[in-house]
Amino acid sequence: MTKHPMNWLDRAERHWPMTVGALPTLLVWVLTLAACSTAPTRSSAPPAKPAVTQVTPAVPPLRTPLIALPVPDPPPAPSEPDPAGAAPPAPDPATLIESAAVAAHFPEPPVRYRTPAFEPGRSGYTSNAELRSLMRALVRDGQGSANPTTVRLLQLGSSQTGVPLEALHFSRDPGALAGSGVTASPSRLVVLLVGQQHGDEPAGSEALIVIAQLLARDLEPGVAPGGLAAVLDRIDVVILPRANPDGTANERRATASGIDMNRDHLLLQTPEAQAQAQLVREFNPAVVVDAHEYAVLGRYVEKFGAVQRFDALVQYAMVANLPEFVTKASEEWFRQPMLQALRAQGLSSEWYYTTSTELANKKVSMGGVQPDTGRNVNGLRNAISFLIETRGIGLGHAHLQRRVHTHVTAVASVLKSAAARADDLRKLRRFVDADVAAKACHGDAVIEATATPSEYTLLMLDPLTGADKPVAVAWDSALELLPVKRRARPCGYWLGADQTDAVRRLRALGVQVQRFDQAGTLRAEAYTETAREVGARADVRGNLTDAGGLLRVSVSLLPALFDIDAGGYYVGLDQPLANLVIAAMEPDTQNSYLANRIVSSVNGLARVLRQPEARMSSVP
């Protein structure tokens, strides 16, 4: 049986000030806070424009074919090959990319999935056109169920080549059922599932098609991880099954322009990241899952003489200023049950990790700690935010059933945890949102942090024999962040009247921005640029391909009283998205709006140290 290394969990628990046993304290705390608060009204923030539109498909009714069926006689699913047993099925020579001994570690799952990708003779995956047609059929399926589920098709604009970006909203909320038009502010807790931000990672998208059908058709237990639609009695689910259809069409990671959309969730340069921001802004999900696949062979064979062995690599948000209780809930309410659910299906898992694309660099890093990925940006929105990656890139169709089953199992676990914890999650979110806002003007904020260098023994597989191959690696741990730069947390930021591009992007993220209606005086700190060089944005894999022209500035701070004109902007930190604002505004980091030339100069930006007195009005 696979021996799963436990030392990371041990290390993580040492790092946390509270342990599992202390969890009831958190519950008592959030319960007390909830009891002290007034009626559970929604945020009083001005509603964002209802730009998500619902579409009614004008095609004749038709049930989608069943896309998840039990295998008639499920074979025993050994997690290790039996050397005395029958030889594993010979891989198709056209996709011979693993030795038979390695492939034998990954037997077919006990469920047979039948999305279009699994049609006989297919070498590709569910096409963009097939996906659109399936999504429309699922809207009708929801109406046909005995226990009706409202399934709404949401249009979020188009990709860079004009492919519609579409999502589905599943709800059994009587309000949603009774209402007409778009419910972009559901009253129930929302879980958002995102697939295929990277076009060459198909299993996430195929799995979300399966999840969508399980929800829409209320499939019987046993058909897949079953009875899943029961979660809709407690939560709403929004699914964006294919976030990057252009990348999918070309089977490449990036969007059509070459920008990696999963490093674009703070800057919002691509329409694909903007669409996702719109979905998050309007549905305000408490839980987000981002489904990916990871490279199995390639640079791991070249660097370590080994191939990858884990069915799933999993990580939640790990980024500077992330509220501690978001981390605790991610670990205890979601990751632990997910690992159990995977184990119960004979599926192995490890923390997510990756390695540089440079072959000379043998360091292995957990997922990045920058505020740029969906995982980290949604964490800074105070959501429980997971990355789930299956063993897929470079395998073609090999093990696709198992890869889809891994995602379906992990996502089903998240949905069940969210439904079971819906009340706790609501209280946690209310508490964390208020707590983040209350920190304005007080204490410190971490401006920049790095992962902690350490060592780790990672289990891989010998490419020929398939035997476990422990590999000692230099390992950057994201479980513990090292603050590189700290500053006092200001009350907010001033932006000059000409910084409209920054204001537009902050509003797209859902950040509240105000405009000065009159001139006045601000107690603030101005930035002075002391050095500048042109550099490249980088992540743990290396420089980003779209990384040209980044400004790396050094700054000093000068506190003073400033006369300001009417027309400038104020971005207060007394709001739930304050930590996201810090990531965008502090200029001397690689993801800041100044470094990425969205803010034009440090002269257009200042740290405000006392709540402004001049009259302001909200920017719509």
Our CB check for Zn ion shows the closer of 201 and 350 to be 201
Cβ atoms 551, 602 nearer than 8 A = no
Q: Which residues, in sequence order, are CB contacts of 83 under 8 Å at separation 6+?
A: none
Residues 322-341 interacting with Zn ion (rule: CB under 5 A)? none
Nearest by Cα to 353 from 253, 456, 252: 456
Binding-site size, Zn ion (CB under 5 A): 3
**Token digits of residue 112:** 């047979």
What is the C-alpha separation between 533 and 67, in angstroms, rounded?
Answer: 53
Residues 286-325 interacting with Zn ion (rule: CB under 5 A)? 292
Nearest by Cα to 105 from 461, 471, 352, 470: 461
Our CB check for Zn ion shows the closer of 201 and 525 to be 201
Least distance (Å) between residue 302 CB and Zn ion: 20
CA dihedral (477, 483, 484, 485) positive or negative? positive
Our CB check for Zn ion shows the closer of 263 and 292 to be 292
Build a one-symbol-per-residue string for 239-278: x at contacts with Zn ion by CB under 5 A, - elsewhere.
Answer: ----------------------------------------
Report phi then psi at 285, rounded to 5.
Answer: -65, 145
Residue at 375: amino acid letter: R
Please identify which residue in 105, 112, 172, 198 interacts with Zn ion, judged by CB under 5 A.
198
Residues 200-219 interacting with Zn ion (rule: CB under 5 A)? 201
Our CB check for Zn ion shows the closer of 292 and 402 to be 292
Least distance (Å) between residue 388 CB and Zn ion: 10
Residues 17-36 interacting with Zn ion (rule: CB under 5 A)? none
Least distance (Å) between residue 315 CB and Zn ion: 12
**What is the DSSP secondary-structure string of 163-215?**
PEEEEEEEE--HHHHH--S--SS-SSEEEEEEE-SSTT-THHHHHHHHHHHHH
Our CB check for Zn ion shows the closer of 230 and 538 to be 538
Our CB check for Zn ion shows the closer of 247 and 568 to be 247
Our CB check for Zn ion shows the closer of 352 and 456 to be 352
Residue 539 β-bridge partners: 542
Residues 528-567 interacting with Zn ion (rule: CB under 5 A)? none
Least distance (Å) between residue 326 CB and Zn ion: 22
Going edge to edge, which strands form the sheet with 364-366?
A: 353-355, 364-366, 468-488, 444-461
Least distance (Å) between residue 616 CB and Zn ion: 41
Task: State how far the alpha carbon of 571 is from the alpha carbons of 8, 205, 305, 477, 600, in Å.
Answer: 39, 37, 51, 33, 17
Cβ atoms 138, 237 nearer than 8 A = no
Nearest by Cα to 269 from 529, 573, 541, 598: 598
**Token digits of residue 159:** 């990709």
Least distance (Å) between residue 389 CB and Zn ion: 7
Which of the stretches 41-49, 195-203, 410-418, 581-589 binds Zn ion when contact is defined by CB under 5 A? 195-203
Our CB check for Zn ion shows the closer of 256 and 445 to be 256
Cβ atoms 494, 522 nearer than 8 A = yes
Least distance (Å) between residue 196 CB and Zn ion: 8
Which of the stretches 198-206, 357-365, 596-604, 612-620 binds Zn ion when contact is defined by CB under 5 A? 198-206
The alpha carbon of 324 is separated from its chain's Cα centroid by a whole number of angstroms, namely 18
Residues 85-104 interacting with Zn ion (rule: CB under 5 A)? none
Greatest Cα-to-Cα distance within the chain, rounded to the nearest angstrom:
83
**Token digits of residue 538:** 């980088």
Which of the stretches 199-207, 275-283, 323-331, 405-413 binds Zn ion when contact is defined by CB under 5 A? 199-207
Our CB check for Zn ion shows the closer of 244 and 413 to be 244
Least distance (Å) between residue 614 CB and Zn ion: 45
Which of the stretches 191-199, 227-235, 335-343, 374-382 binds Zn ion when contact is defined by CB under 5 A? 191-199
What is the C-alpha separation between 390 and 2, in angstroms, rounded?
Answer: 17
Which of the stretches 44-52, 196-204, 424-432, 605-613 binds Zn ion when contact is defined by CB under 5 A? 196-204
Least distance (Å) between residue 395 CB and Zn ion: 14
Our CB check for Zn ion shows the closer of 107 and 374 to be 374
The alpha carbon of 612 is separated from its chain's Cα centroid by a whole number of angstroms, namely 35
Our CB check for Zn ion shows the closer of 198 and 515 to be 198
Least distance (Å) between residue 67 CB and Zn ion: 23
Helices 500-509 and 271-283 meet at what angle, rounded to 10? Answer: 50
Q: Which residues, in sequence order, are CB contacts of 507 under 8 Å at separation 6+?
A: 48, 513, 619
Residue 393 β-bridge partners: 295
Three-state DSSP at 159 gives: coil
Our CB check for Zn ion shows the closer of 313 and 322 to be 313
Q: Apex CA 170: angle with CA 155 and CA 381, to 5°?
A: 75
Residues 454-493 interacting with Zn ion (rule: CB under 5 A)? none
CB 183: neighbour CB atoms within 10 A? 24
Least distance (Å) between residue 188 CB and Zn ion: 29
Our CB check for Zn ion shows the closer of 352 and 493 to be 352
Characterise 466 by phi-psi region: left (phi > 0), alpha (psi -120 to 50), beta (else).
left
Least distance (Å) between residue 198 CB and Zn ion: 4
DSSP for residue 88: P
Our CB check for Zn ion shows the closer of 199 and 371 to be 199
Least distance (Å) between residue 387 CB and Zn ion: 8
Least distance (Å) between residue 292 CB and Zn ion: 3
Our CB check for Zn ion shows the closer of 202 and 271 to be 202
**Token digits of residue 60:** 């004749």
Least distance (Å) between residue 128 CB and Zn ion: 18
Contacting residues toward Zn ion, per CB under 5 A: 198, 201, 292
